[in-house]
Structure 1
Amino acid sequence: MITYVLLVLVYSANNLPYSALSGVITGDMGERNSISSFRFVAVMIAQFTVQGLLLPLVLIFGDGDKAAGFENVMGVFAVVGVIFLLITFFTTKERIVPTQDQKSTLKEDLGDLFKNKPWIAMLLLTILIFVTLALKGGMYIYYFDNYLDENALSLFLNRLGFVDLIEYLKISFTGFDWPEDPVTSAFSLFNAGGIIFMIVGIGFSKPLADKFGKRDVFVVALIISTLCVLAFWFFPVNMIGVVFIAQILHGFFYGITIPLLWAMIADVADYSEWKNNRRATAIIFSAMIFGLKAGLSIGGALVAGVLATYGYNEQLTIQSPETVNGIKLSVSVYPSLTFLAGAACLLFYEINKKMEVQIEQALKARRQ
């Protein structure tokens, strides 16, 4: 418990300046789009590795002993993490820095923030996005376990050749013991498919943002992604292929928005400097990190709250129709509402493509 608390503390102290780096490495908004895209391709690859390969790695590294496997795998992750944090430290350079005569108090910075409409819009958007991700992400396993038909899941896995792949791995690696229930296997593939197509979507993010502007691309991609989420309400219990297609499409369109969120926050820092002649990158990003954590906390609490409200009982093999209905709502209608509310927040985000160019040119002239 103590080491976990210390880990979270140090991670937060590291993650804030790391997230803010894109705002000070370059003042070119197009380059920021590129930086953010590369960053989140790497994030998705890491997430895919953890969600899709962690259990096989644990079984392989532990020679069948899960406790030893987790110890060895996490040791490898820790060493790799430290090495790459050091690489980041030694190879990045801050080029956008406050002028030497800039002096501002915390009270002035906070005052600037609450008069900054794009910042307020981005804060609300960040909270709503991460409430949505935590809610539907936490509920998907219940959707698979309690709504989708297990026989249909098993047939789908057989048609994909997933069962044959697992049998091959069991033969090839001593101690490899993948769970045999189709729900676990299908859910793992479901997550992996979404992540892979998020990476594809991230690849489209920069060219679209460069052409149409970050705000407009974000809104359109988020709305289409929302429709894919809403579709989960309508799927029959045995239409497994359609469920996976919806997840893939959702992953693709949501992936387009992922790097834009953080690039837009960096643009808000530029907007603040443009309006107030004071740069406040750190406090702007720290507020967004707060919004992110708040969103995840609220969304996580909603998972437990919704399950309790609809009478979920973990002792029951088959849940009541009311409980199953609540689970369906929580992976479709409820997250659609928060996603759409997030898109509505961007009506108050006035930094469109035209203003991006205006801010960038004005700040460039001012800094020179």
Structure 2
Amino acid sequence: MNLTTIKTDKATLSNRPTLQDKLTLREKISYGYGDLASNFVWGMATSYLLFFYTDVFGISAAAVGTLFLLTRIWDAINDPLMGVLIDRTNSKHGKARPYLLWMAVPFGILSVLTFITPNFTDTGKLVYAYITYTLLGMIYTAINLPYGTLMTMMTRDSGEKAQLGSFRSIGRSIGGIIVAALTLPLASYLGKGSLQVGFPFVMTIYSIIGIVLFLLVFKNCKEKITQSIKKEKMPNLKKSIRQMFRNQPWVVSAVNVLLWFVRLGVMNAILIYYVNYVLDKPHMVPVYLTLLNVANLVGAVIAPYLIKRLGNRNSSIGMYSIVVVLLVLLFFVEGQSTILFALLFFFINVLIGFGEPANLTMLGDSIDYQEWKYGERTEGLLYSAYSFATKFGVAIGSAFVAYALGWVGYNPDAISDNAISMIRILMILAPIILTVLEIFVLMFYKLDKTHGQITKEIAERNL
């Protein structure tokens, strides 16, 4: 049967949650703990790591750009391997959950090591950064990829998945808010004015909290879908990869999320420079970083309601169209009104933050589509490629910022007019271009109207 042959009347598309699909509030909140834990670390990486490497550790911007790109290229191999490993895991804890238990402590340790600044030569500093950041990325994959895959194993229902995605985004935003508001003041306080001393102390605190949160996800979130599927022989990897790239809803979701995270990488990396040198308000850096994450939190909270009414595709296209208009207005408001600028910045990031729950819901629905079309539910593989898109997107965005700053000769001790102009371009023009591209890609997503019937047919097969 083709996707286009599915009837779309209201009766056929009913997708009310079954008892198995329905999740408790405790499960939803606990699931959000995972991204809260992740963003105590990855929030630091996206918001502060470029600044940490250039202004605290003393590595050149161009060298950091290459570091970000090369370390993420390894994820093209590392992430799918982890996805296959999840699909082939058969433990008493399930397929994805055991990795939350096994990897929580190593993740915390590598997080601290990444933000230590040993007194090495310039070459030694760069080697240390490559080793620690690469290992951190691998451990992040080993815990965050199973965590993300777990959502697709908890329920088939799109509404429940949207709520899980929303709680996950709320967790990410709360983690981002804490990191944005507390990191620099806390690092300065604990380091007695020295960020080199303060950053490792801050990361130690964040890592301990993150370990506890991941263990709570492991304890409270169960794999319900995989437990109800009959045991079959392991899927052929080459065949599964071919099917994945023939899964049109998944391809659209993956490209869309790549663009979303490229924009995230650009905006998070450049914001600290923009506030410091364009707005000339260095004391406001924690405020703007906090404002960004609070806005993302608001977007995540409203997302399930709009997704339910308009669907993933239409609601996302609508939100991003408004983002483009507001970014243009932001350019003209800069330097005119501090309050109006902050309000526009806030609303832009509310609408951008809305996109993450929609992205996660589209991914979950595309995994259901894969099972419906090919008879195989390879959550690990599909989510691993999606995970690679998220990390590679942030890496491309951050590396692009680093290369652009290096190209104009960025020097934190002597900021040139060219550097100021480039920071403006990266802050406003680059997100406009990326958002327009994202709208174009989303035009090709067609699964919203037919997902209800697909899940109904899958349920009938499994009776």
Measured in 1, the distance between the counterparts of 2:352 and 2:148 equals 19
Unaligned runs of 5+ in 2: 1-127
AA aligned opposite 1:294: F
- CA distance in 2 between partners of 1:358 and 1:262 (Å): 20
CA displacement, residues 48-89 of structure 1 (integer Å, 9 cap, x when unaligned): 101111233334555667566544433332222222222222
Aligned position for 2:426:
330
DSSP 3-state at the match of 2:232: coil
SS in 2 for 1:90: helix
Q: Is the 8 A contact 1:139 1:303 kept in 2?
A: yes
Question: Residue 246 of structure 2: which of 115, 123, 126 is its match?
Answer: 115
How far residue 366 of structure 1 moved from its aligned partner, in angstroms, is: 2.3
- 1:218-267 CA distances to partner (integer Å, 9 max, x unpaired)? 22112222332333322342422222111110121112112111121111
Deviation at 1:22, TM superposition (A): 0.8
- Residues 365 and 92 of structure 1, relative CA distance in 2, 3 Å threshold: same
1:289 to 2:387 alignment? yes
- Give the partner amino acid of 1:111: R
| Aligned equivalents of 2:406, 2:258: Cα separation in 1 | 23
Q: Which ranges of structure 1 fall in alignment gaps of 5 or more residues?
A: 151-182
Aligned to 1:51: 180
Residue 259 of structure 2 is matched in structure 1 by: 128
Contact 2:333/2:340 (8 A) holds in 1 = yes
One-letter amino acid of the counterpart of residue 360, structure 1? T
Amino acid at match of 2:295: F
Opposite residue 347 of structure 2, the aligned amino acid is L
**In terms of mean alpha carbon deviation, does 189-198 or 108-117 score higher?**
189-198
SS in 2 for 1:9: helix
1: distance between equivalents of 2:433 and 2:193?
Answer: 44
The answer to whether 1:268 aligns with 2:366 is yes
Give yes or no for contact 1:233–1:329 (8 Å, CA) kept in 2.
no
Q: What's the TM-score, normalizing by structure 2?
A: 0.67
Matched, 1:319 2:416: yes
| 1:300-333 residue CA offsets vs partner (Å, 9 max, x unmatched) | 2211232344x2442674522x543332222112
State how many pairs are aligned.
332
Range moving further from structure 2, 56-65 or 4-13: 56-65
Give the letter aligned to residue 26 of structure 1: T
Output the amino acid matched with 1:29: S
Give how far 1:296 is off.
1.5
> Which residue type is aligned with residue 224 of structure 1?
I
Q: 3-state SS of the aligned residue for 1:234?
A: helix
1:343 to 439, 442, 445: 439
Say yes or no: does 1:92 pair with 2:182.
no
Equivalence for 1:143: 274
- What is the correspondence of 1:17-56 to structure 2 with a 5 Å cutoff? 17-56=146-185
SS in 1 for 2:223: coil
CA contact 2:330–2:345 (8 Å) conserved in 1: no
Going from structure 1 to structure 2, the CA distance change for 1:91 and 1:236 (only over 3 Å counts) comes to: closer
CA distance in 1 between counterparts of 2:376 and 2:389 reads 23
Give the Cα separation in 2 of the matches to 1:87 and 1:261.
24
The equivalent of 1:180 in structure 2 is none
Distance 1:6 1:201, change over 3 A: same
- The corresponding residue for 1:247 is 345
Matched position secondary structure for 2:358: helix
**Which 10-residue stretch deviates more, 294-303 or 135-144?**
135-144
